[in-house]
Structure 1
Amino acid sequence: MKKEFRVKKNKDFQEAFKNGNSFANRQFVVYSLRKPDQEHFRIGLSVSKKIGNAVTRNQIKRYVRQAFHELENELNQKFDYIIIARKPVAEMGFHEIKSSLIHVLKLSRVLSKHKAGYNEKQ
């Protein structure tokens, strides 16, 4: 994921927590904050040490980034997204993580209609 697609600064995370809308399911909490002056979305990831060791946490982050990369044409581009992973994510594979993210993004109404052929397990 390119640098311009990432939220890195603590100030940006805190702004999303304070002013953004939050939606959650068992696996993820997603904060979305509208940024009208932005050309494309940005994502920030938070995976706690409680979830697993560094290898597990980095794998989860790679899976989430890849899921967002595959969904980028269907996401509302004028938002910052902060994704917080919860404990059940540690035992999930890529397709389960993507399915869970699609579910929570649909709840937050930032995901346009997803491809009809995709089989969701939520």
Structure 2
Amino acid sequence: MKFSESLKKYQQFQSVYKYGKSYANKYLVMYIMENGTGRNRIGISVSKKVGNSVVRHRVTRLVRESYRLHEAVFDSGLDIVVVARKAAAPVGYYGIEEALLHLGKLHRIIKVSCYL
């Protein structure tokens, strides 16, 4: 991820959960909070309810890759936490990509000229 960093610490995730704004769809929940820097920080959370470790890591990779390929269209200076729902387990790449972009549109963090 060229323009982004990762959220790694528990306190960073908790801050976004507590003070951020959230939207959800069938597969994902996205929390957004401004971080005051010029870079995005993204964190991905996949619970054990989604499946075993193979399934959880697969969903994590799909979300990370979807974000990586579209990170240029997201606004900068945000902390983003993406939480996968149980329904995301059997879904392929295009379903996760569509869900991620849908949530970006709901939050109004996708640049207007890129995707309408």
TM-score if structure 2 supplies the norm length? 0.91
- Please provide the CA RMSD for this pair: 1.5
Per the alignment, residue 98 of structure 2 pairs with 99
Q: Aligned equivalents of 1:59 and 1:77: distance in 2?
A: 26
Pairing 1:44–2:10 present: no
1:9-31 per-residue CA deviation (whole Å, 9 max, x = no partner) reads: 11111110111111111111100
1:39 to partner: Cα distance: 2.4
Structure 1 consecutive aligned stretches of length 4 or more whose deviation exceeds 4 Å:
none
Q: Which amino acid aligns with 2:101?
A: I
Other-structure match for 1:109: 108
| Partner residue, 1:34 | 34
Query: What is aligned with 1:7?
Result: 7
Distance in 2 of aligned mates of 1:51 and 1:15? 23
Give the drift of 1:64.
Answer: 0.5
- Note the 1:24-103 alignment, pairs <5 A: 24-36=24-36, 38-103=37-102
Counterpart residue identity of residue 76, structure 1: D
Output the CA distance in 2 between the equivalents of 1:26 and 1:11: 27
Give distance in 2, aligned partners of 1:112 and 1:45. Answer: 22
Deviations 1:48-75 (A, max 9, x none): 1011110110011111111111111111
Distance, in Å, in 1 between the alignment partners of 2:85 and 2:106 is 17
Q: Secondary structure at the match of 2:73?
A: coil
Alpha-carbon distance in structure 2 between the residues aligned to 1:45 and 1:63: 10
Note the alpha carbon deviations across 1:48-106, whole angstroms, 9 max, x for none: 10111101100111111111111111111100100110011001001110011111111
TM-score norm. by structure 1 comes to 0.87
Letter of the structure 2 residue corresponding to residue 107 of structure 1? L
Amino acid at match of 1:17: Y
> What amino acid is the match of 2:89?
A
Residue identity matched to 1:22: S
